[in-house]
Structure 1
Amino acid sequence: MRLPKLILSASLLVTAMITMTACGVPGTPQAADVKPAEKVVTLPSPAAVPPPTVAKTQKLVQIYSGPSDQPVAQTANTAPGSHDVELRATTSEQIGTFLTDGNGMTLYMFTNDSNNPPKSTCNGDCAKTWPALRIASPGKIFPTGVDPQLIGYVERADGTCQVTVNGQPVYYFSGDKAPGEINGQGVKGTWFAVSPTGGKTPPLPGK
């Protein structure tokens, strides 16, 4: 009686092995092992940034629509100034948005000056502490974050041309030694980092 049972068991075992072999032949991919075809994604080419165009002119000084597409070497705080000048809007948690030159040095306005008509009243010893941002003629001014229609220049008492924003003459502070410093903010209650619209920025907190 045991023999038929053994034969039956052996038969079932062989059948199972054949089935397993058929479903698991090495090199035959299983449904779970089949990898989907990789999807090739073509990224769009970055849009070309158009070069700045002349937005306005004031005699021989051209004010452009945006930043220069070439490096600008700037020494605009000494007479007669640079032929190329950059203006950039930057933001501080302390005083909000203000202007710097292309090197990141803070630019200031003097509340004793006039913007209509534009007039600088800081000369002599005052100009040693607060050097004007000058533009040599012929010259080019490249703004970033500033409306080019607000930019121009005014002739100073020494005959050099000082950059203006909305008619307001702008200056450096000799006490600023590194980009981003605002050591001139609120000095004598008349000097303030200039805003992109030519106004004064808020005093430093607590002052």
Structure 2
Amino acid sequence: MGLITMGLSTLAALATLTFTIATAAEAPAVKVSNTSKGPTLVDAKGMTLYIFDKDTDGKSACNGPCATSWPPLKAESDAKPGNGYTVVKRGDGSSQWAYKGKPLYTWTKDSKPGDITGDGFLNGAWHAAQP
């Protein structure tokens, strides 16, 4: 009887671990990298992520030509929030990742990982996103 109980406990632990791994995989592919601004959020390619002062909590103000220069960090329609990351709906109906309520963007003028040329742009309205 003890062996069966131990086997069931092991199966329960594995099921929990699998659920935890699956849940963690749902978060965006964002990492922290050191830049000249200190620890900075970057996308899967290592490109700096930015936040915009004109965004309101959970809503993007960067649309149209703005979103062409500052591409939103896209989220799949079935993306699940977690670890401080949430999903916001954009004006065009697409989804975008946000960190602590602030929508995340890349900057087309950053040419390589580690660039932070968008920090301070537009009279200081754009900032490298920091954890």
Asked if TM exceeds 0.5, the reply is yes
Structure 2 counterpart of 1:100: 42
Residues 126-165 of structure 1 aligned to structure 2 (within 5 Å) = 126-139=66-79, 148-165=82-99
What is the distance in 2 between the residues matched to 1:51 and 1:109? 33
Are 1:182 and 1:193, in contact at CA under 8 Å, matched by a contact in 2?
A: yes
> Once the 2 structures are TM-superposed, how far is the Cα of residue 51 of structure 1 from its aligned partner?
7.0
Residues 1-207 of structure 1 aligned to structure 2 (within 5 Å) = 53=20, 64=24, 85-92=28-35, 94-115=36-57, 118-139=58-79, 148-188=82-122, 189-196=124-131
Counting matched residue pairs gives 114
Inter-CA distance 114–132: structure 2 relative to 1 (3 Å threshold): same
Question: Whose helix proportion is higher, 1 or 2?
Answer: 2
> Once the 2 structures are TM-superposed, how far is the Cα of residue 63 of structure 1 from its aligned partner?
5.3
Structure 1 stretches lacking a partner, 5+ long: 1-49, 55-61, 69-82, 142-147, 197-207
Cα deviation, 1:60-93, whole Å, max 9, x if unaligned, reads xx851xxx5xxxxxxxxxxxxxx9840101112x
Q: Which amino acid aligns with 1:131?
A: P
Are 2:90 and 2:96, in contact at CA under 8 Å, matched by a contact in 1?
A: yes
TM-score normalised by L of structure 1: 0.50
> Once the 2 structures are TM-superposed, how far is the Cα of residue 185 of structure 1 from its aligned partner?
1.0
Greater Rg by CA? 1
Are 1:63 and 1:152, in contact at CA under 8 Å, matched by a contact in 2?
A: no
- Secondary structure of 2:83's aligned partner: helix
Inter-CA distance 163–51: structure 2 relative to 1 (3 Å threshold): same
Structure 2 stretches lacking a partner, 5+ long: 1-16
TM-score normalised by L of structure 2: 0.77
> Once the 2 structures are TM-superposed, how far is the Cα of residue 122 of structure 1 from its aligned partner?
0.4
Cα deviation, 1:97-125, whole Å, max 9, x if unaligned, reads 1100111011000011112xx11000011
Are 1:84 and 1:135, in contact at CA under 8 Å, matched by a contact in 2?
A: no
> Once the 2 structures are TM-superposed, how far is the Cα of residue 149 of structure 1 from its aligned partner?
2.8
Q: Displaced runs of 4+ in structure 1, greater than 3 A?
A: none
